[in-house]
Amino acid sequence: MKKILIPLVALSLCAWVSVSFVNTSFNDTKKNINFLDVNLVCGAAPDIGCGSRSRPILVDLEKEKAIKEAWLNRKGTVVAVVWEEGTQPDINALTSIFKKHSKEFSVSEGKALKEQLRSFKTDKWYKGTDVNELSNEEAGVIASKLIDPLVEDKILSKEDAPKLFKEVEAFIQNEFMVLEDVSLLKDRAYWQRWEKAFTEMGEKYVGEGNMPELQMCGPKSSCKKEKSCSSTKKSCCSKSKIN
């Protein structure tokens, strides 16, 4: 039986959405804002940041009394920490929060700091739990990785593809929105539930027993080592990571 492998690397929520430009009421000085260089980028869509990785960090940052706001830039490469007026930035507190989430950061300085200040006033940034809205795009990326091979190998008709896409995309969006424990992403049983759901959705369009075997591949799986399992002799494993 044909197998479709879907590589997964710490799945996340990513999307292009309309958000407000950042509030520029903060003092444009080093005293009340720090920019932290981070790696919170989506594997499947490497031009945007990841909600599932960044949300708990931003939420914990904003719980600190000395912190007024915490923002993520669209690229997922910088976190902006706006301190309350009259408070002294506490880098140790930031270190503790990032360590709790097994993440690291470095504080932007010099030319990089000036660039981030400019970006913070002009570009799109996501505050706190607003990063939940980053789910839609990556859900679409994952859905495409499942459905495109079915259409390419003529298992699924082009007419039915958009219908299945919407079902799969909606399922993933909901899963991400209700996900509270990111450690589940390392649980094989979690992905088996996804595989079962995708198979049931697909069989409504291609017939019972006609869906290829699905496997959600973790970063330590043998997915990249798999030989072709497609009638088109193309690799079952996409090179892009679903983060």
Helices (H), the chain: 51-63, 91-100, 110-122, 135-152, 161-178, 188-206
Asked if 179 and 52 count as a contact pair (C-beta separation under 8 A), the reply is: yes
**Do the domain assignments include residue 212?**
yes
User: Do 55 and 129 sit in the same domain of this protein?
Assistant: yes
User: Do 89 and 119 sit in the same domain of this protein?
Assistant: yes
Identify the CATH number of the domain in which residue 53 sits.
3.30.70.100
What pLDDT does 222 receive?
42
pLDDT of residue 27 exceeding 70, the answer is no
Asked if 132 and 9 count as a contact pair (C-beta separation under 8 A), the reply is: no
What is the domain count for the chain? 2
pLDDT band at 92 (very low <50, low <70, confident <90, very high): very high
User: Do 149 and 114 sit in the same domain of this protein?
Assistant: no
**Do the domain assignments include residue 23?**
no
Give the C-alpha separation, 13 to 8, whole Å: 13
pLDDT band at 3 (very low <50, low <70, confident <90, very high): low
Measure Cα distances from 170 to 16, 52, 130, 155 in Å: 16, 17, 19, 21
Give the domain-ending residue among 90, 110, 133. 133
The tens digit of pLDDT for each residue in 125-169 reads 988 878 877 767 778 888 998 999 999 999 999 999 999 999 999
What pLDDT does 211 receive?
94
Mean pLDDT for all residues in the chain: 78
User: Do 60 and 109 sit in the same domain of this protein?
Assistant: yes
